[in-house]
Structure formats: structure tokens, C-alpha cells
Amino acid sequence: MAGPAGIGALPEAVRVDFYVLETADAEARLHFACRLAEKVYRLGQRVHLHVGSQAEAARLDELLWTFRQGSFVPHELAAEGATPGSPVTIGHGEGEPPPAGLLVNLGSGEPGFATRYARVAEIIDASPGVREQGRERFRSYRQQGCEITTHTIGAQG
């Protein structure tokens, strides 16, 4: 079965990086996601940003143009069944996302397709609800045998 990783089969060992922000600001999560997407894009890899709603997708779409002076991250909102033309896509819901080397999950739960990617990034802020949801996803990924790394990101990120 071909998965979103685009290599013809499910990844053998899914690598999940948890980026734990010291701030409880939801906008900080989105800004960190933009910086991460830009970094991975500049390395020549595709990125899919998964959010919880259409409103969050629109906000992230806007931020990718404005999060940093002089930044350019070619991106588009993912359309179900369409082949993306940009290396960075934004989507929500449980529909099959486009292929990418990295899935950045900003949703409140683990997407059903997460472990079809070779790499997953979970961005967690300091708000109690987001932390608890992150802990649940951490346990789920661990139970699935994923390789997990946690990175603490200071206020300056």
C-alpha cells in the first residue's frame, strides 16, 4: 500500500518529534510551525501541516506569508483528491492528505494517517489542555512503536 510518505510502503520506523514550547500562546504554536515548515522546505522536502479546522487552516495560510519579514514558503490549502502544486500543504479533517516527508500536527488529536509518514512533528504549547492532549498522543505513538524525541523550546524559540 502506498502511503503519504510517497515511498510505496508504510515507513518502517516512524520518527515523532515533540516540540514543547514554554509559552501558552496558541499563536506561538502556529509561528513555530511556520518556521519549521520553512526550514524543511529549504531542505527540499515536502511538508503537510494538519490543523483542527478550516478557520485554523485559513489562519496558517495567512501566517505563512507574514510570519517573518522576507520569508517565502510556497504553500496551498490541500484539496481532497487534488495533486498539490506546492511543497507545503495545509489541511484539516481525516481525508487522505498529500504525500510529504514531514507531517506537522497542530490538531487536538492524532490524525488517523499520522503513522503513514516517516516523520511527524507535534507542536505543544504550555496551556493545560494542549499539554494533556500532547501526553495522550505521546502515549499512543509510544504504543505504536514510534521513535520519539522531545525538544524543549524556550520563549525565544
What mean pLDDT, rounded, does the chain reach?
89
Q: What is the pTM of this model?
A: 0.88
Q: What is the pLDDT of residues 4-30, one digit of tens each?
A: 444 344 447 899 999 999 999 889 999
| Average pLDDT rounded to a whole number, residues 114-130 | 95
What fold does the segment set 15-153 form as a domain? Answer: Rossmann fold (3.40.50)
Q: 3-class secondary structure for the chain?
A: CCCCCCCCCCCCCCEEEEEEECCCCHHHHHHHHHHHHHHHHHCCCCEEEEECCHHHHHHHHHHHHHCCCCCCCCEEECCCCCCCCCCEEEEECCCCCCCCCEEEECCCCCCCCHHHCCEEEEEECCCHHHHHHHHHHHHHHHHCCCEEEEEEECCCC
Look at residue 155 in the predicted model and tell me its pLDDT.
65
Q: What is the pLDDT of residues 82-108, one digit of tens each?
A: 677 899 999 998 888 888 999 999 999
- Domain boundaries of the chain, sorted by first residue: 15-153
